[in-house]
Amino acid sequence: MEFKKVSDRIYYLEQEDISDTPALGYVRGDVFSLMVDAGTGAAHVERFMTSLEENGLPEPVFSAVTHHHWDHSFGMASLEAITIACKNCAKKLAPFEDVKWTEERFSEMLESGAIPTFCEEHIRMAYPDLSAIEVFCPDMIFEGEMVIDLGGCKAVIMQIPSPHGSDCIAVYVPEEKVLFIGDGLYEGIVGSNWVDDPEEVIKLQKLLRNLDFEICIDSHSGVITKSDALANLAERVN
Ligand SMILES: [Zn+2]
């Protein structure tokens, strides 16, 4: 997992396929810095903070969590930053807060679909001891859109339509023409299957077409150009 520089203000810790670990984004403002997503847990957060230190970058004051899936949100318990998520994401995380993670409870969650079976293998890789899982809910909850002036650039944190789920947000940095899109381009996970939602794909297509950005940072693929992201969506509705 390399720490990549996109510009003087935009960085990300690379994703890892084998463990399904997502990229963690970073926006350096002159006053505040913002992290995009909270990662899989303590080890992932530590890796990110070490990368910042090695690169002389300040720790983030805020972390915007792109959606509730474990690989994006479980790291919240290990963060000092103020965590931000949309209302739908907070709602989806609430049942996991204060849970005692045991084999039995984990099996129930897999059976009920609360945790997609697709995630089991990766959760076990990150947490050989399930009792180490700790889930925190976000500190700040918004609906629609919120803007943080980071100093020298803004972070526009916005709910987006997405086939991946109803709680997806993206972080748009207009000055840099960068969009952190989380898993927003992906299909939804139901059990171990990927299920697309053409209506949401069309809505997302419309939003991306009208947004002035050049690249998006996708949680599991890294940098994608705007035209490649739009081409990917177009293929799914034709
Ligand atoms: Zn996801």
CATH of the domain at 122: 3.60.15.10
How many Å apart are CA 111 and CA 224, to the nearest integer? Answer: 35
List, as ranges, residues with CB under 5 A of the ion ligand 1.
69, 183
Question: Which tokens is 15 given?
Answer: 């994703």
Confidence (pTM): 0.96
CB 225 within 8 A of CB 215: yes
Query: What residue numbers bound the domain in which 214 lies?
Result: 3-237
pLDDT tens by residue, 92-125: 999 999 889 999 999 999 999 889 999 999 999 9
Ligand 1 centre to CA of 58 (Å) is 27
Render pLDDT for 10-59 as a digit per residue (tens, 0 to 9): 999 999 999 999 999 999 999 999 999 999 999 999 999 999 999 999 99
**How far apart are the two ends of the chain, measured CA to CA in Å?**
35
Residue among 172, 222, 213 nearest 13 (CA): 222
Rounded to the nearest whole angstrom, what is the distance from the C-alpha of residue 85 to the centroid of ligand 1? 14
The residue ranges of DSSP E strands in 78-144, in sequence order, are: 82-86, 140-142
Whole-number Å distance between alpha carbons of 118 and 99: 21
- The number of folded domains in the chain is 1
Please state, rounded to an integer, the average pLDDT across all residues of the chain.
Answer: 96
